[in-house]
Chains A and B, each alone.
Chain A
Amino acid sequence: MTAEIGHFALILAFLTAIVQGTLPMIGAHRGNVAWMALARPASVAQLLFVTIAFSALMYGFVVSDFSIKNVADNSNSAMPMLYKVSSTWGSHEGSLVLWVLILALFGAIVAVSGGNLPPSLRTRVLGVQAWIAVGFLSFSLLTSNPFLRLNPAPLDGRSLNPLLQDLGMAYHPPFLYVGYVGFSMAFSFAVAALIEGRVDAAWARWVRPWTLAAWSFLTLGIAMGSWWAYYELGWGGFWFWDPVENSSFMPWLAGTALLHSAIVCEKRNTLKSWTILLAIVTFSLSLLGTFLVRSGVLTSVHAFATDPARGAYILGFLILVVGGSLTLYAIRAPLLKAGGLFAPISREGALVLNNLLLTTACATVFLGTLYPLFLDAIGGGKVSVGPPYFNATFGPIMIPVIAVAAIGPLMPWKRADLAGVLGRLKLALGGAMLIAAVVWYLVGGTAPWAPLGLGLAAWLFAGSLIEWAERVKLFRLPLAKSWNRARHLPRSAYGMTMAHCGVALVLAGIIGSQAWQVESVRLMAPGDSVEMAGYSFTFRGVRKLQGPNYSIDRGEFEITRDGVPVTRLYPEKRFYPVQQMPTTEAAIHTTWIGDLYVAIDESRAAAGEGDGAWSVRLYFNPLIPWIWLGAVVMMLGGLVSLSDRRLRVGAPRRKRSAVSEQPSPPEQPDPQAA
């Protein structure tokens, strides 16, 4: 019964979305206030219906109702409750409902709290949102109904894929989806603005919070996914340039560009049509990402439930969204008036360069990810494009991005003096050179990119701090005055400093782990010791244990450094009888300078040798924790920026904004926050 209620609610949500997407839009076109007013209650109703559907599905998982096909396929009565709940979005069908739920939630937030938006813009934003919902709901109802019944119902379910029975599955997809769907808001605002034919600073100010929130969550979502792969796959790596990873990374790259161009749009009332285009591209890539992961068109190490039969629908939907919005863009964009002038060497110029490079980097990832698909489609054979391609293309393009990220914030708007700015960064330059020299001495030319990468990281980190110090006039005013200035800096300024420092940390983590990773794959019998990276790993054997729905081989490693005990690590090999599938659970000891990482592979006893030896993998991954630390700092930077007064308190109405949004002179300390 619950499932039927859920199914019915999903159908109601679909019909509500159709109404929300048509009548208010027509109303906005004709100036019919009554029809326009329909958009707000409709979005709230849509949220209500989708919530009912999602709850009904989750209830099916919680009580293990195996007469629902989706539950029978993805759950099992022996699974712990947490994984029963997270199985709700573990399948393709369920993940679509989660997507629509977040979409409806965001729509309702605009409907309820968007009182300061001009009514016609709000109505159109909600209308565009509704059409996205129509696309997803019809996809769900027509091809991927999560509420299909089975008759007769099986006694027990087939269980969630063991690799997904992990905390990672509970938190990774929701965060990723909040990011993807957040960009749908930017998209809706962009399309609504194109329909209205009007983009101004106030528009950019409304779009920025959504972009910031989406970007922050996507950053965290990607970092979580990479952390999950790091400990679950047991390969000691955190990023494989795998199609599924790339498809979440592309919207992030485009979204980062959007985040920066929206600043120019807001502050200087220029780059408008470029910002609109980026909003469209970012959301299109989010859509592509959502579908690529679940549709099975790409071969990937992370591809789970797949069904190529849905490909046609997905392709149609993508063509409609991308083609439709770009056509609208082509018709309407020329109407947007160009804004303020600026010289190439200026903050605008730096942000434009950031945008050009980020979108180029995004394009290289796009090409590498989809090229195998194109080639296969035209019958050119099956190929794969691996990490060497991405390292050779993406890496070099990101070098200037990072270099400019330290310089740009110090430049004033309109026109800047490059020599002067570089002069203020000489401390950062010196620090970066020093670090590069030390690293060069350490690696001795075996990895020429390591000094460059770590030098760049130091450059960006120091440069960001210098920019902050300049703003508060540290050491140039008495400390009390600097403190006072620091307190009154807008939060968005802190957000930028944090986010840029976060990027520097991530870069340092990536370079460090690539340059100095120590790996040891070997056979170890109980009592054997291995010396690695200054640590001594002693294998203490393997014990058999029983988990809730799996059996465990738990290894024990004693780790000492110079005879002093450091820690004990317990890597596991689990076996899930329902799916007849083993998983590897690496054990990790994290320190500030790196991770000690241990995984056990296979018992030699299985091969008829009884000495209790196991093939094990030991890694020392230097600086790798900085990757996730940096990502969290980036995300926090985004949230701090989001809490900025300017974005939080209702944005000014259009009439007034035209006055208050005059570009401020470069010396004014406050409003140039990024």
Chain B
Amino acid sequence: MKLKRKHRRLVFVVTGLASLLIAAGLILNAFEDNIVFFYTPKDMAEISIPEGKRFRLGGLVEEGSVKRLADGLTVEFTVTDLTATIPVSYRGPLPDLFREGQGVVTEGKMTAGGIFIADNVLAKHDENYMPEEVAEALKASGQWKGVQDGQ
């Protein structure tokens, strides 16, 4: 297997290109299915999201809206951006920072009944209790009350 320098280099170039092509294929394939968009309740009134499509819904947990169902594990609450609201149902552990009146990001799907079924609830470890997306969404809808920046 005595290869000339030129051929040897060609082998490596081809291997390199092949691994890049495979990676590009994997990435494109994965991007198609696994990119999750972020919407606020107001966005959702304006655009149509296909049923069964996963996305993130963010806003504030409406005061007085958190209800625990009888099984003790399912939680229902309303996410609001102070212009529109969406009811959310979630079964599972809530993060430590989840509370009424604070920012929250939930991930899941819309049902035909207009309820958002979340399988993941994120509340940030930030002293503002305000996820960045939610803060920006509130600013965009003119409802920002000016929590000062953290540090």
Contact = CB atoms under 8 A, between A and B. Distances in A.
Contact of A523 (B71, B92, B107): B71
Interface string B47-78: 00000000010000000000010011100000
B127 A385 contact: no
A193 to B, nearest CB: 22
Contact of B26 (A234, A303, A342, A392): A392
Contact of A397 (B11, B12, B26, B96): B26
Interface string B110-137: 0000000000001011110001110000
B93 A392 contact: no
A299 to B, nearest CB: 5
A581 B97 contact: yes
Contacts of A393: 23, 26-27, 30
A307 B150 contact: yes
Nearest to A415: B1
Interface string B78-119: 000000000000001110110000000001000000000000
Given A523-B72, A602-B94, A306 B3 contact: no
A235 B121 CA distance: 12
B69 to A, nearest CB: 11
Interface in A391-419: 392-393, 396-397, 415
Given A523-B71, A523-B72, A383 B23 contact: no
B34 A397 contact: no
Interface string B7-23: 01001100110011011
A584 B97 CA distance: 11
B137 to A, nearest CB: 9
B96 A304 contact: no
A91 interface: yes
A302 B125 contact: yes
B78 to A, nearest CB: 18
Contacts of A161: 125, 127
Interface residues of A, number: 64
A444 to B, nearest CB: 25
Contact of B34 (A158, A296, A386, A521): A386
B8 A396 contact: no
Given A304-B126, A522-B73, A582-B96, A382 B133 contact: yes
B16 to A, nearest CB: 5
B35 interface: yes
Given A345-B1, A356-B19, A581-B96, A305 B151 contact: yes
Interface string A598-622: 0101101001000001010100000
Interface string A105-147: 0000000000000000000000000000000000000000000
A361 B22 CA distance: 11
Contacts of B37: 381-383
Chain A contact residues, majority secondary structure: mixed
B132 A383 contact: no
Interface string A136-167: 00000000000000000000001001010000
Contacts of B5: 341
Contacts of A48: none
B38 A384 contact: yes
B131 to A, nearest CB: 7
Contacts of A364: 23, 26-27
A384 B11 contact: no
B93 A397 contact: no
A388 B96 contact: no
Nearest to B132: A299
A483 interface: no
Contacts of B92: 521
A579 interface: yes
B143 to A, nearest CB: 17
B46 interface: no
Contact of B73 (A301, A341, A615): A615
Contact of B11 (A163, A344, A381, A388): A344
B35 A383 contact: yes
A434 interface: no
A234 B93 contact: yes
A617 B126 contact: no
A521 B73 CA distance: 8
Interface string B36-47: 111000000000
A11 interface: no
Contact of A384 (B26, B33, B56, B151): B56
B12 A344 contact: yes
A156 B24 CA distance: 54
Interface string A494-532: 000000000000000000000000000111000000000
Contacts of B56: 382, 384
B114 to A, nearest CB: 22
A360 B23 contact: yes
A396 B127 CA distance: 39
Given A389-B31, A397-B23, A303 B36 contact: no
A482 interface: no
Nearest to A93: B151
Given A343-B1, A353-B15, A604-B72, A389 B35 contact: yes
A360 B19 CA distance: 7
B95 to A, nearest CB: 8
A360 B30 CA distance: 15
Contacts of A361: 23
B151 A307 contact: yes
B68 A607 contact: yes
Interface in A150-193: 158, 161, 163
Contacts of A560: none
A62 B70 CA distance: 49
Given A382-B133, A388-B33, A357 B19 contact: yes
A384 B36 contact: yes
A341 B124 contact: no
A584 B94 CA distance: 11
Nearest to A375: B35
B131 A299 contact: yes
A363 interface: yes
Interface in A337-377: 341-345, 352-353, 356-357, 360-361, 363-364, 367-368, 371
Nearest to B71: A523
Contacts of A305: 150-151
Which of A91, A341, A389 neighbours the largest number of chain B CB atoms within 10 Å of its CB? A389
15 contacts: A91-B151, A158-B127, A299-B132, A344-B3, A344-B12, A360-B19, A360-B20, A360-B22, A364-B23, A364-B27, A368-B27, A383-B38, A389-B30, A392-B29, A393-B26
Given A344-B15, A352-B15, 4 more contacts: A303-B124, A360-B23, A368-B27, A385-B34
Closest 3 CB pairs of A and B: A382-B38, A392-B30, A523-B72
